[in-house]
Amino acid sequence: MSKIDVLNTNGEKIKDITLNKEVFGIVPNDAVLYDAIKLAQNNARQGTRGVKGRSDVSGGGRKPWRQKGTGRARQGSTRAPHWYHGGWAFGNQERNYTTKQNRKERALALKSALAYKIINKELIIVDKLDLKTNKTKDMKNILNNFKIERNVLIVVNELNDNLILATRNLTNVLLLEASEINVLDLVSANLVIAEEDAIKSIEEALV
């Protein structure tokens, strides 16, 4: 696989590295990638909405009037759907949207998402993201060095307080450890900035 530049936080090239072709150089599998995105979206759904049917509302255990002779329509309960305070007919019920994907497919989907970042030139590798302060301004300066204006995913090998505090107020920035990287966050980001050590950790986990 071709080499890729490693930059410092000023956006200057300091060296280059060769990425593992078994992770970043595969032909992306769109079907598996699609399934992984749907899995992440489905598993994020709570499915807790629900309404009460006629068996769930209180009251109505007694027939309101006799079957015949009153001149009114026959009724069996005052909690039928057409009654005031009656149960809801065919209403939404609680539902579990969770879906599953086997381990090899999850790994292939993650590799496919990473491969697309290389193909679309949406990956920047830096030697180290080490902030001396926790100021948001300092992180903004680093992003400006890379001329970043869109949604960006920052992947580091290990989180620290300065990074967390400096990025938490930036709405277009998501900060993750290498062990937390996932398909949905990858495809949602317009650009990925990753530490060199984080790239090595990802390769070790996926090979």
Domains and CATH numbers, the chain: 3-45+102-206 (3.40.1370.10), 49-96 (no CATH)
Taking only the tens place, the pLDDT of each residue in 99-156 is 899 999 999 999 999 999 999 999 999 998 888 889 999 999 999 988 887 899 999 9
116 exposure class (CB count in 10 Å sphere: 0-12, 13-18, 19+): middle
User: How crowded is residue 64: how many other Cβ atoms within 10 Å of its Cβ?
Assistant: 14
**What pLDDT does 196 receive?**
93
The pTM score is 0.81
Residue segments in the chain with a per-residue pLDDT below the cut of 70: 1-2
Give the pLDDT of residue 131: 87
Residue 146 confidence (pLDDT): 87
The H or E element spanning position 177 is strand 173-177
